[in-house]
Structure 1
Amino acid sequence: MAETILLEIVTPTGVALRERVTDVTAPSVAGEFGVLPGHLPLLAALRTGLVTYHQDGHAHRLAVHHGFVEVANDVALLLTERFARAEDVDVVKTRMRLKEVDAELDHWQGELTDHRRRELIEEEQWLATELELIGDPPPPMVREDTRFLADHAEPPPVDELAASSEPDESLTDHKKPGSPFPETK
């Protein structure tokens, strides 16, 4: 078994990083995951966040935007829209832009599934990740990502909701003879 894995991060402009590393931790839509040499094949949706890897006993952190990650044959390939190292982040510009984006989102009057709103949320997440990368965390904020909401989703019919709210007698044993539960009146 290999002692290292090849970490490759590719953006639309080309290969942003290609390094031999001992391990990688990355953010996915299902949570953070780690990769060591010999990892089973994996394909996951990448979310905006920090990637950490170790090389020669030193920890390194990078920021990545959403995308995909594939792990196979001791290669971790991250395909992402954006990539940043700490030295790439201009804290003043990033904080100013984050303030502008937050103000626009705070005063949003359009549809929750509007493409422009989704772009703003993604930008907000990216700016917050850049600040976290340099150890200057942004103020706490929570914005839901509406990317996975169905455009024409409707609630279930009321009669289905009413039917599911009644207890299923077959799942209870309180009416069986010898039951430790007293009979209700």
Structure 2
Amino acid sequence: MAENSVITVSIVTPDGKVYEHTADMVVVTTLSGQLGILPNHIPVIATIAVDEVRVKHDDKEDKIAVNGGFIEFSGDTATIVADSAETQTSIDVLRAQQAKKRAEQRIEQAKAAEDADSLARAQIALRRAINRINVAGK
């Protein structure tokens, strides 16, 4: 590994670029578990779960709430294409807490109605809201 190797990390959503920075390491949660990528890593494509992406650079760590998508890494460039994503500083915690409460209510309603499709959608909404709250650090 070269002394000054870095990774370029980009996170994009259908609404545009959410994050771009150089990094010493990026950590994502895939459907198979956590994946840490350092410079000169072999090329990889993986589906990512609803979780935080951690980008380590200059003795700092940026956290981004990512709600599904995939990562492609090749040539020291990591591109994350996400359904939606928010940086730690841009998360509206009150809105996320309200979304969590609504999702919990919808889960209870879906269970009572024995509606598996609505239950699955509400559970995903709950995971997304909890992810946003966790990444915000609140």
TM exceeding 0.5: yes
* 1:23 is the counterpart of 2:31: no
Of 30, 33, 36 in structure 1, the residue corresponding to residue 35 of structure 2 is 33
Flag the structure with higher helix content.
2
Match in the other structure for 1:127: 129
Match in the other structure for 1:83: 85
Contact 2:19-2:87 at 8 Å conserved across structures: no
What is the one-letter code of the residue matched to 1:9?
Answer: I
Structure 2 Cα separation of the partners of residues 92 and 37 of structure 1:
37
5 Å-filtered alignment, 1:14-163, equals: 14-108=16-110, 109-112=113-116, 114=117, 116-136=118-138
| Identity, % of aligned positions | 21
Q: Deviations over 1:107-138 (max 9, x none)?
A: 212442x2x433322211110001101222xx
Structure 1 residue 77, shift from structure 2 partner:
0.9
- Cα RMSD, aligned residues only: 1.4
Structure 2 Cα separation of the partners of residues 20 and 68 of structure 1:
19
SS in 2 for 1:122: helix
Q: Deviations over 1:135-184 (max 9, x none)?
A: 22xxxxxxxxxxxxxxxxxxxxxxxxxxxxxxxxxxxxxxxxxxxxxxxx
Q: Deviations over 1:42-95 (max 9, x none)?
A: 111111101111122211111101011111111111110111112222222221
Report how many residues are paired: 134
Structure 2 Cα separation of the partners of residues 121 and 69 of structure 1:
23
SS in 2 for 1:37: coil
What is the one-letter code of the residue matched to 1:44?
Answer: A
Structure number with greater CO (CA < 8 Å, separation at least 6) is 2
Structure 2 Cα separation of the partners of residues 126 and 56 of structure 1:
29
Structure 2 unmatched runs, 5+: none
